[in-house]
Amino acid sequence: MAQQQFKIKGMHCKSCADKIEEGIKKLTGISEVKVSFPEEQAFIRFNPDQINLNRVKEVIKETGYEAIIEEESSTNSSSGKMVRISLESSSILAILVGITLILTIANTYSNAKIRNQLALLGGGELVGLEEQDTREQEDGSLKEVKPTLPGVGGPDEDSLGPSPGNQPLLDIEALADDDPQKGSKNAPVTIVEFSDYECPFCRRFFDQTLPLIDKNYIQDDKVKYVFRDFPLSFHRNAQKAAEGAECADEQGKFWEYHDKLFENQDALSVGDLKLYAKDLGLDTTKFNDCLDSGEMASEVEKDFRDGSRYGVGGTPAFFINGTPLSGAQPYSVFERTIEQELNKQ
């Protein structure tokens, strides 16, 4: 048995890492595989008599990413070099693994404790380490935005720019545009979300926070909620999924289709999108023509351009009566902000 690490350039989210990991696991001769998206690395333990590294690199390439073995790169630093280790050197390997595990456990415990204490002090909910990872493109311009801890700042926090207190209010009517909305058009508070159907943090907001906002504010005509598209380029199905929702909107079933997409976030191929239209009783001929023709691409792109102009740099992004709020925040943050806006009326 042998083991090897790869550098995977441009890996942006956990869902991407999971796809790569599942693909490698299916190969004959692989005994262990672990893919880490924060570090953009893949680790495998394999039988070199059954599989070669080129086949592993091919599988990674099939998912849309490039795998690099560090010995082949120009990296000269000993800390960055990844080497092939034979398991025959069991005693040395055991010592190295043991040291690594001890350091990792200590670091993880320390970081988790500090983060959770800060969350409690800031009035927010406890957030696991995995949930705090920032997912960015290589240029740092677009990302899936982590849930920022309320009241806690610092260089590792994602935001939409200046803090709400220093940010000029944006025109809420322009923000809302003519996009799908829930709630009374005369509601005193308007929430505009820029979202991506393939973004896990957007799914978290859909699952955990939106139902409470709906129950406590939208249904009571206190909040109008507007959904706008912001498909990130590294989510290969997000653009078409957004177009599909717009096609469903033409037949008066946007919200049913919107819910269906988030409930089935891991299955958003064009075939899946057409199946959901059929499940919801849409005119499938009309829907399929709309989707295949790209009729709604310009509408989705308009939302994206508008969001970029308003300072959206990641998903989910919210504007509450024109004030920006970044990330899949817990319900308590939305509740506090909504109540502040209601008290201004």
The whole-number pLDDT of residue 144 equals: 53
pLDDT digits (tens, 9 = 90+) for 90-119: 455 566 666 766 766 555 545 444 444 443
Radius of gyration of the CA atoms of the chain, in A: 23
The whole-number pLDDT of residue 82 equals: 37
Residue 112: strand pairing partners:
none
Taking the CA atoms of 36, 42, 43 and 46 in sequence, report the sign of the dihedral they define: positive
- Domains observed in the chain: 2-74 (3.30.70.100), 136-344 (3.40.30.10)
Residue 314: strand pairing partners:
143
String of DSSP letters for 231-295 = --TT-TTHHHHHHHHHHHHHTT-HHHHHHHHHHTTT--SHHHHHHHHHHTT--HHHHHHHHHHTT
The whole-number pLDDT of residue 4 equals: 87
Amino acid found at 329: Q
The whole-number pLDDT of residue 11 equals: 64
Q: What are phi and psi of 42, to 5 degrees?
A: -125, 140
The whole-number pLDDT of residue 96 equals: 64
Output b/e per residue, 186-201; b: 16+ Cβ within 10 A.
ebbbbbbbbbbbbbbb
The whole-number pLDDT of residue 339 equals: 96
- Where the chain has pLDDT below 50, the residues are 71-90, 109, 111-141, 146-168
Output b/e per residue, 75-112; b: 16+ Cβ within 10 A.
eeeeeeebeebeeeeeeeeeeeeeeeeeeeeeeeeeee
| CA 134 distance to own-chain centroid | 9
d(CA 124, CA 153): 13
Beta strand residue intervals within 50-142, DSSP E: 66-68, 85-86, 135-136
Burial of residue 11, with CB atoms counted within 10 A of its CB: 0-12 exposed, 13-18 middle, 19 or more buried: buried
Tokens of 268: 């958003």
Amino acid found at 321: N
d(CA 156, CA 133): 9
d(CA 312, CA 66): 28
The whole-number pLDDT of residue 120 equals: 36
Q: What is the pTM of this model?
A: 0.56
d(CA 338, CA 259): 23
User: Taking a C-beta distance cutoff of 8 angstroms, is the pair 217, 340 a contact?
Assistant: no
Compute CA distances 6 → 16, 48, 51, 154, whole Å: 15, 16, 15, 31
d(CA 174, CA 222): 20
The whole-number pLDDT of residue 101 equals: 67
